[in-house]
Structure 1
């Protein structure tokens, strides 16, 4: 698993690093951990989609953890965010950012393990991929990176933060190949990753990258209820 820790306290970074290494050792997984002393250095690092989980200290000089979290939701929408704080007063704001949860310092190993176990159970892992043929090449696209898929000129366009991939594989087949607990066929021409949705309207879903995805008029009520049920189930798990 790939982790990023953003905290301006070196001692707290080291303590969390040791806990993460212990957790990954316990589950038989390898870990890669990068640490950043400020939000500015984290956001300047680039290629943020490589991280499975961000740990953000809420109280820092410069950008706060909450400000960083809002930006990360746009730059790396499929990564998990866990806030670290010395108090619980910002807990509700973390839910607004669809964070995996928050941890109170000093971080307890069992609390950390609970959040990470939940992440592993309910989110596509970085190594899970969708295999397609594009321009006569076989490509494996990380599932967690897919924002939505649309049909245009008899082609399926797979949208990710890294770019758009084109394939002649029908949308119905792609829908079968992707996990139904995360992807919704919201329109005859669109398949959307529910992790990428930030708000719902009567006729469209708004995604974290600013894209508006149409909702089938005939199925509007059912689809919006389906997303709301998914969202609150995820919130309860957090």
Structure 2
């Protein structure tokens, strides 16, 4: 490994930083901020070494070139669009997902699919779909028969969790009380909620679907307690 890193003039400490970020957050996306942009660029330089490293432990590292992000999947995770790895899931690596988080992710996946179909101003050049907070609430109620958490504190915590998993982006001045405030649903949503899961969610009781997704989606990933605190976010274009 040292020889491979030396070929790219990358120190072992930087390799550890990239690996630790992937273990902690499950994803590195270039468009996030300056820190993550540099992590992504360095990860691209040593992608083959990273693939070998994680594969030895049974993890799968997906590199989405179009979306410019790396996502790490734990052993046994069901990954949309990819064959099963044949490994047994490791319960300790599964993200601790609340039913509210799972339901919100399903609603975002539904809205993302709608945005792709409709196009227009809702779809950005980077493949994000713009929506409003009230539209998320309405989708939860009409499609999943589930309401948002009752308090503003719980709702903000839910938004922070969705941001931390890089499923949405929010403008720095975003406010849930602003009816015109937009949030961006990232294409990364496709990597955790498959078409089959979305279809099941629309046909099943919300809580049973939430439990199913929580059990299957180790790819939302690992060790939430060790994840970095949410960093300052910025968003350009239509979200400004």
- Band of TM-score, shorter chain: under 0.3
Q: Which is richer in helix?
A: 2
Q: Which is richer in strand?
A: 1
